[in-house]
């Protein structure tokens, strides 16, 4: 027969052994975790010493431990950039940073991101960048139904393009970053009958990494010269969420609400409010040097003045292919299609004035460019673009071909 003391105290040795076993297991797990703890300082030092491939593995370990680590994302982006994997590097950088008004090609974009990442990892709170670009080009209006009506096509106009701007990224706390950019573009045409173009774009936003994703929101706009001392002002609020599905894939969903205002003059009735939803998918090939992007958009416009076409509903798709042929040569091709439909009927003055039609347009855009980095911070950029706008109102059909060569200096 068991004694009361055995019943009362017999569980204590079992509990004691269980607690000791848990303590030992905890020590073993703690030791294993410490042994596997990534060393960002070591990874950054290896990157400085030119051991980019080895640094990649350490930065990837750091991201496994903390997917939202800003330093690990930027360090991995820099390591990939150092290996010439520009497509993958851009995906990694944009999990933390997203600058507006950058050139299209991924080598130029990752160069800017790499500099900003280096400043961040060096402990600098502000990470600025600047650029200037100029050259020469030609604009040709091609034959279309509107040129048949108004006197023919074929006029060639030489133009001189100028583009200057820059931006700054700043750390706001441990996870957030603030970005601001300004971009000014100007075209001077040698044909005095053609309006010179002037455009100032601005963008200010706040972003935060969320594991392998990124949330960004802010305000942006532009001021565009319309000739005869008239201007068009755009401003709006936007947000986008970038989802990193893998090392080679990212999807970005964005929305914007903005106003396009013509303060005065004959175009004032074109003032309108705009809501836009866009989505894009970017994929990097395994070699890290080629990227594909596919996107789409839905847009609604509300005429706030007496615009002849009334409200408008648009949808479109676009794509881009970018390939790095080497560390100094990048090539890219882009295209887009958009359909624009309006709800107000208007006369087609080229036919029977009594014939009323609700305007419906199809817009095609194709472009290609080579970027040759012939010296540090310097690049030569031959570019060609073709635009074709078809419309059920003949007077609004339009087509043009533009080509230009510019030299760009990044600071």
- Give the domain ranges of the chain: 118-410
**What tens digit of pLDDT does each residue of 194-206 get?**
889 999 999 999 9
Would you list the DSSP string of 22-54? HHHHHHHHHHHHHHH---HHHHHHHHHTT-HHH
The pLDDT profile of the chain, 411 residues, written as one tens digit per residue, is 444 444 444 444 544 554 454 444 444 333 333 333 457 788 888 888 888 888 998 898 888 888 888 889 999 999 999 999 999 999 999 988 888 888 999 999 999 999 999 998 888 889 999 999 999 999 998 887 777 766 666 678 999 999 999 999 998 877 788 999 999 999 999 987 888 999 999 999 999 888 888 999 999 999 999 888 889 999 999 999 999 888 899 999 999 999 999 998 888 999 999 999 999 999 999 999 999 999 999 999 999 988 889 999 999 999 999 999 999 999 999 999 999 999 998 776 555 666 788 999 999 999 999 999 999 999 999 999 999 999 988 888 889 999 999 999 998
- If one counts every other C-beta atom within 10 angstroms of the C-beta of residue 214, the result is 24
Give the global pTM. Answer: 0.84
Q: Look up the CATH number of domain 118-410.
A: 2.40.160.40
The beta strand positions in 146-210, using DSSP E, are 156-172, 176-189, 197-210
pLDDT at 140: 93
d(CA 96, CA 92): 8
Residue 166 · residue 129 · CB < 8 Å: yes
**What tens digit of pLDDT does each residue of 352-404 get?**
666 788 999 999 999 999 999 999 999 999 999 999 999 988 888 889 999 99
3-state DSSP call for residue 224? strand
């Amino acid at each position: 027969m068991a004694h009361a003391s055995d019943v009362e105290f017999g569980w204590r040795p079992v509990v004691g052994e269980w607690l000791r076993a848990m303590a030992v297991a905890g020590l073993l797990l703690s030791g294993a975790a410490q042994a596997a703890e990534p060393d960002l300082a070591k990874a950054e030092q290896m990157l400085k010493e030119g051991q980019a491939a080895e640094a990649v593995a350490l930065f990837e370990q750091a991201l496994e431990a903390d997917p939202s680590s800003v330093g690990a994302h930027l360090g991995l982006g820099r390591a990939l950039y150092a290996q010439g994997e520009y497509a993958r590097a851009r995906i990694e950088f944009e999990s933390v940073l997203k600058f507006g008004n950058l050139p299209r090609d991924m080598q130029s974009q990752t160069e800017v991101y790499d500099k900003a990442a280096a400043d961040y990892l060096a402990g600098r709170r502000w990470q600025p960048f600047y650029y200037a670009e100029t050259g020469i080009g030609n604009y040709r209006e091609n034959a279309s139904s509107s040129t048949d009506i108004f006197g023919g096509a074929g006029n060639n106009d030489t133009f001189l393009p100028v583009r200057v701007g820059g931006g700054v990224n700043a750390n706001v706390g441990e996870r957030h970053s603030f970005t601001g950019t300004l971009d000014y573009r100007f075209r001077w045409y040698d044909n005095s009958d053609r309006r010179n173009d002037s455009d100032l774009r601005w963008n200010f936003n706040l972003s935060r990494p969320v594991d392998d994703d990124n949330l960004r929101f802010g305000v942006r706009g532009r001021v565009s010269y319309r000739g005869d001392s008239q201007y068009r002002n755009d401003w709006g609020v936007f947000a986008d969420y970038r989802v990193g599905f893998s090392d080679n894939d990212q999807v970005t969903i964005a929305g914007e609400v903005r106003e396009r205002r013509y303060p005065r003059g004959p175009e004032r009735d074109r003032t309108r409010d705009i809501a836009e939803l866009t989505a894009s998918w970017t994929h990097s090939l395994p070699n890290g040097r080629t990227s594909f992007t596919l996107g789409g958009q839905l847009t609604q416009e509300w005429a706030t003045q007496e615009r002849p076409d009334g409200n408008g509903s648009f949808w479109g798709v676009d794509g881009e292919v970018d390939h790095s042929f080497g560390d100094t040569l990048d090539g890219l091709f882009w295209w887009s299609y958009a359909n624009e439909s309006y709800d107000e009927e208007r006369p087609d003055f080229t036919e029977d004035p009594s014939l009323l039609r609700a305007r419906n347009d199809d817009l095609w855009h194709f472009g290609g460019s080579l970027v040759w980095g012939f010296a540090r911070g310097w690049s030569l950029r031959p570019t060609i673009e073709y635009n074709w706008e078809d419309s059920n109102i003949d007077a609004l059909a339009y087509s043009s071909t533009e080509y230009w060569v510019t030299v760009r200096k990044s600071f």
